[in-house]
Structure 1
Amino acid sequence: MYRDVDFYGLSEEEQQRLIRGKRVTTSDGLLREIPKGRPAVRIFEESLENLILKCLESGRYSIHELADEFGIEENDVRQIINKFRRHGRDDFTGESFKYNLLSEWNGVIRVKNMSQRHFEYSLETIPFFARIADPTLVLSLLEVEEQLFDLPVMAEGIPSNTASELDEIYALLFGEFWDIDPQAIFDEITNYERTYVETSLAPLPSVRALTEYEKIRSRFAQPDTVYNRFRNLEKSIRGISEEFTEIMNRGQPGVRMYQAVSIELFDMLRAAKLEDPRLVLKVEEAINNVASALDPEADNSVGTEEGMPGEIALEDEILAVLDEDWMTAEQVYNELPADVQMVSPQDSVQEALDEHAALGMISSRINGEDVEYSSKFGTVGLRDSP
């Protein structure tokens, strides 16, 4: 896990490079600048982000467990996990971390369990069956088989254990996309009865394997307690619809974009069913728009794969760090990612917290001279007593 290197024997440029890469830690946590007094340091073999992602890929961990594993502060772990869970682009680099995680690791971070009020996280990768039979995830997560069959059918009801020319074309296309031997894709897809439809991306199959599709939904599902914590759901639904429309206007979305949008809408649909059933129709409308975009006759120009657009909303960042334990506005601000702090004065965090508390979306209370906030739902217009 650690490199046997004399940190203080390195050049200042190399020291800065290691610090920027989140690879140097002391007993007080990750270094953000070259320390004074030459305290004892440890250098990770690779970035802390990669080490945490590898842990989450192999199992379920709470933030507390990951902090113990690497000997760092919980806030350092929380910032990394929230960075890859949040939606939108970084204001400075233009990166969409959630989208990049999907592209580079073939997965997304999910909450899989709750242990004594603490979430346990995992990096859920797209399973082999989905990569072969549902690369866009629209069939398994969005269940749009009916809409898909409105598209031109290229070959219907190909029996299992028989082959067609379409199978060979499909295996070559997606073997290159996934970096999987096309023969492995060919062998797997021909195990199922299947129908191919023409889409704006490529010929795509729909296979007779309802149980396998259900397994994918179970893999990406999160506990109800996660969906109950969704805030501003209607705004999020509207936002994802507008973003997808913007991408369509720039050019045809790629496979990764369909995966990202499918996961977002899958979560929103589950949240709507739990939180506000009247929003289910709005999510379903967004899902239909995504399915319609696959129509090869749609007025879409061919474009390159695009990352998720949109700026990162301050309120989303605040709700990502706000805990059930009471926190002051200053504590919330200090836990925000550095890039968010740079564009958001502390006063704006206070204002956002007060606005959410007044709407009952979070709780607030007066404790001595401080106003404290909690992620628990509050009462509209009221503050709790300490």
Structure 2
Amino acid sequence: MTAELGADSEVGTLRTVMLHRPGDELRRLTPRNSDQLLFDGIPWVDRAQEEHDAFAELLRGRDVEVLLLATLLTEAMTVSGAARMQGISAAVNERRLGRALAHDLSVHLREVPAAELAQILMAGMTFDELLEAESGNPELSGSSLVRRMHHGADFIIDPLPNLLFTRDSSFWIGNRVAITSLALPARLRETTLTDLIYAFHPRFLGIRRAYESRTAPVEGGDVLLLAPGVVAVGVGERTTPAGAEALSRSLIEDDLAHTVLVVPIAQERASMHLDTVCTMVDVDAVVMYPAIQDTLSAYTIRREDTGVSIRGADPFLEAAADAMGIGKLRVIDTGLDHVTAEREQWDDGNNTLALAPGVVVAYERNVETNARLEASGIEVLRISGSELGSGRGGPRCMSCPVARDSLEHPA
């Protein structure tokens, strides 16, 4: 039975999730380009795939339907020519390639089968690979200065290694999906692929969109559904104040939220998203990096009869509990001492994926954090992440919940 699409919390029983199995886009990472492509290390791809397969199997073993982004992308472009054109148009950058080469590349891609095209859009393409593909087609032999001046190993289409983190390019709220606006150049094209999946795949036909403005950066890792009608949005390295305000007003105007907490976080790599320092693990509990517990604040945006009001900043934990209508938000911190807490925060100890209230998936290496979660009554399902973590993301980052049971109307 297909689950009803949508979510109103972080912890309602997870029914369907979108993942991306790491592939050849990770094999494109080198010491020369890894910083630009936002990876802190060069992953062993075969092991990363094994770890991701185990993650997916754990979810399936808990009766979660797993949708794979690459499969959805291929299927969407198989059934829709418009989907193919949207993917090609986003990948072919005439400003960088020039008109002649952009034309040749577009002509070639339009003839490529859907599965191969999906692979190119995700893993990228080098000038040498285009030359090899063109060898069987004499019509693609136009003269291009750009082609002559690039090295063969240079990318004519950049790879998207951060597709692994499906949380960032879209999120569901209520029965709608929001396509986000990613902040950094290495990730801009990810939303195009997510967008065409939701627009053209038969599974998602007829769904409505939330927040369609792309004027300022908002990333899904900064968006936490604290409770039905209550959303927290982090503002830091990726999501901007303008993006948070546009999202907040949109969600309130569409009656998808009555309260949005805008939460400033440090603008640094270690805390790139709100979910790197704080995630929900139960209906009334969060796991949180202790270094920010007493200093994290929030601006409260609420729906009023005359529009919206903005208050604060106030202590985050108090503002969250008030908005959620509970006396106190339980906090489970990630270490007894500063060094352990800092190490496990860096290793995504705070980045858990809830499968149900009080049941979370976490990286096994965060021993102290997992022990503290279990001591607080949370069931922890451990996965290996020695290679998956090289891009700075944990189980929550790697998953986009597509369907959760509602906390307001339990199944």
Calculate the TM-score normalised by the size of structure 2: 0.28
CA radius of gyration, larger in: 1
Which gives a bigger RCO, structure 1 or 2 (Cα 8 Å, sep 6+)? 2
More strand by share: 2
Calculate the TM-score normalised by the size of structure 1: 0.29
More helix by share: 1
